[in-house]
Structure 1
Amino acid sequence: MDLLSDVVAFMRCGRPTSARVSWRAPWGVSFPVAPGSAGFQMVLRGSCWLLPPEGEPVALSVGDLVFLPHGDAFGLADDPTRTLVESDCDAHSELFTSAGSGGDGAETVILSCGYRLDLDRTHPILDSLPGVIHLPATLGRHPELRAAVELLAAEIDTPRPGTDTVVSSLLDMLQLYVLRAYFDTQEEPCTLSGWAAALADPGIGRALDAIHREPARRWTVESLGSHAGMSRAGFARRFTGLVGQPPLAYLTWWRLMAGARMLRESDVSVAQVAERVGYGSEFAFGNAFKRQFGLAPGRWRRRYVAVA
């Protein structure tokens, strides 16, 4: 997998949820802080206001999408001065559902999607994102994202055989398209910093992609630098400056994240997991895993199996 694909695949746990909600004015609803979650709000019809925890209200119109990657509290309303009523979050805990609420005035239809995150294995790229990402429906921008939203809304509107699979897959696609769109809309590469700059940098981007595609390969700083088309020293400085840790430290961290996913989602032995993520022995993998997660691989797997 490449980096963004891994971010989407590794950070989620459990099923996503989605709801197509029709609000009629007057209406206003508040959503509480939801640690370990992320979500989208997409306006399918009408208009409304997003009320973030900090800053000014944001006007939303048809086609606008808002991504809240950190589970921060927020509000939605037909008027920014409207008194908000706390949301009943349990009402939209299914893979997909439809609902209606509010008065008898102008209608706003919103597609709301939520994801549970595994906080043990979220990628640091998510920490680099702001609390609220607003992607306006600019004509001609992000056609794949708009197409995914339309398909998702249609499936929820008119469920048919296979809708469960289609909705789940579209939600994953939507998450990937949002991350792509966000990084594509950032400033020019020369003014970027952190993960946005790392993804935009041709050399560092190639090195990150190589690590994610082949975590078990015996990478060295020199071989990664060669892959990036840079000198060893220049590559190490630039990678550390953008990613926040040295190349081999990131490689080690990612191997352990990949190993944790295999332990949780498959029944392969610990020895096989160690080999697949690039460790020469089960013992070496076990020691590194315990330093990262506080438990030996076998005990960590049993804990998550018991929880599931």
Structure 2
Amino acid sequence: MTHPTSHPPVHADPLGESLHLLRLEGTLYNQGALTAPWSIAVPRLEGLLNFLVVTAGRCWLVLDGHEPIRMEQGCLALIPHATPHRVCSDLDLPPVPLFEIPVKKVSERLEIMRYGGDGEPTRTMYGCVRFDHVAAHHLISHLPDVIYISRWEEDTGDWLQSTLRLVAREAAQMRAGGETVITRLADVMVIQALRSWLDTAPEANRGWLAALRDPQIGRALAKVHAKPGEDWSVDLLARATGMSRSAFAARFSAIVGSAPMTYITHWRLSVARNRIAVTDDPVAQIAGDVGYKSEAAFMRAFNRQFGISPGRLRRS
């Protein structure tokens, strides 16, 4: 895993770079061997993206506040914001809380659940994944409550089905290293599903996601994301994109929704907040790395942005 203080290279594709930063961390995968009747309630799991793949049979996915989704073999659903939901063989069944159902631990990252009655079988892969980079968190925050990919969708069917065949083969044999192969393939499915949504969803052409695709504003964002501690100014970023200062500032604000320096401040403080939360690095060092010349100025800005001091955040 890349250390939080390291910076990614600046790529020509800022949106692709954000996907590159979707490094999955703290993941757990559950293989379900479920037989009707069954119904499982999944609570909100803060900070995690959940996904469900049906590898055999069929089931229902029901998110709070959304219409039920009928999932057939080969379908995939991402739940980016850990919205509470249930997965079931029949919509009328009362659900059993997830953590009341026993599982067999294969390893720290893989478990097997056998549950239900003696009816129709369904096999699933369910995962909970966490991302460890600010760019990844920001991208995830722009996603909808659920992303559903059907096996019949022309643009996604091939990669999804080929990946699922590999997962099913490994799960059936569980040879040496099988757990590693399954979890890595699951990671690939999550990234591919996000790419598919970003390529096709109308919502992906608005706001910050659209800004990443913009040839000029995207280039400026990529520079800020790669090196948040640089002494950035509107003039410097405008020159880097080949625009006048006024044209750059106006275009940036129109697409991103905030002024360039406001965005830069928020990005720096978000990077710092992530490091404070996941490392033991001294606050003074973090402040300097994100561009603050004094720890006192950083502390004031951090408190103003998040309503909490760095020290209190770390203790919590």
TM-score range, shorter chain: 0.7 to 0.9
CA shift for structure 1 position 149: 5.4
Conserved in 2, the CA contact under 8 Å of 1:36 and 1:116?
yes
Q: Distance in 1 between matches of 2:168 and 2:226?
A: 33
Find the partner of 1:284 among 289, 297, 300. 297
Describe the superposition over 1:151-189 as per-residue Cα deviations: whole angstroms up to 9, x where unpaired: 566666665666676666555544433322211122498
Report what 2:113 is aligned to: 99
Report what 1:223 is aligned to: 236
Structure 1, unaligned stretches of length 5 or more? none
Conserved in 2, the CA contact under 8 Å of 1:22 and 1:99?
yes
Report what 1:115 is aligned to: 129
Asked if residue 59 in structure 1 is aligned to residue 84 in structure 2, the reply is no
CA shift for structure 1 position 19: 0.2
CA shift for structure 1 position 69: 1.4
Describe the superposition over 1:52-78 as per-residue Cα deviations: whole angstroms up to 9, x where unpaired: 323432222222111111222223233
Describe the superposition over 1:58-107 as per-residue Cα deviations: whole angstroms up to 9, x where unpaired: 2222221111112222232334x432322323646952101122222332
Conserved in 2, the CA contact under 8 Å of 1:98 and 1:157?
no
Conserved in 1, the CA contact under 8 Å of 2:64 and 2:84?
yes
CA shift for structure 1 position 39: 0.5
Report what 2:156 is aligned to: 141
| CA distance 1:267–1:238, shift in 2 (3 Å) | same
Asked if residue 85 in structure 1 is aligned to residue 95 in structure 2, the reply is yes
Find the partner of 2:252 among 222, 228, 239. 239
Counterpart amino acid of residue 38 in structure 1:
L
Report what 2:201 is aligned to: 186
* RMSD between aligned residues: 3.5
| CA distance 1:176–1:251, shift in 2 (3 Å) | farther
| CA distance 1:174–1:230, shift in 2 (3 Å) | farther
Describe the superposition over 1:20-67 as per-residue Cα deviations: whole angstroms up to 9, x where unpaired: 101223333333444443300111112222223234322222221111
* Secondary structure in structure 1 of the residue aligned to 2:223: helix
CA shift for structure 1 position 232: 2.9
Q: Distance in 2 between matches of 1:145 and 1:216?
A: 39
Report what 1:248 is aligned to: 261
Report what 1:17 is aligned to: 28
Asked if residue 274 in structure 1 is aligned to residue 284 in structure 2, the reply is no
- TM norm structure 2: 0.76
Asked if residue 211 in structure 1 is aligned to residue 224 in structure 2, the reply is yes
Q: Distance in 2 between matches of 1:286 and 1:165?
A: 42
Conserved in 1, the CA contact under 8 Å of 2:131 and 2:137?
no
- TM norm structure 1: 0.78
Q: Distance in 2 between matches of 1:283 and 1:130?
A: 38
Report what 2:14 is aligned to: none
Q: Distance in 2 between matches of 1:49 and 1:152?
A: 21
| CA distance 1:221–1:156, shift in 2 (3 Å) | farther
Q: Distance in 2 between matches of 1:152 and 1:288?
A: 47
Structure 2, unaligned stretches of length 5 or more? 1-7, 9-16
Q: Distance in 2 between matches of 1:56 and 1:174?
A: 24
Conserved in 1, the CA contact under 8 Å of 2:41 and 2:98?
no
Conserved in 1, the CA contact under 8 Å of 2:40 and 2:98?
no
Which deviates more, 65-74 or 156-165?
Answer: 156-165
Matched length: 295
Q: Distance in 2 between matches of 1:149 and 1:245?
A: 41
Counterpart amino acid of residue 246 in structure 1:
A
Counterpart amino acid of residue 243 in structure 1:
V
Conserved in 2, the CA contact under 8 Å of 1:75 and 1:84?
no
Conserved in 2, the CA contact under 8 Å of 1:16 and 1:171?
no
Report what 2:4 is aligned to: none
Q: Distance in 2 between matches of 1:144 and 1:282?
A: 49
Counterpart amino acid of residue 59 in structure 1:
R
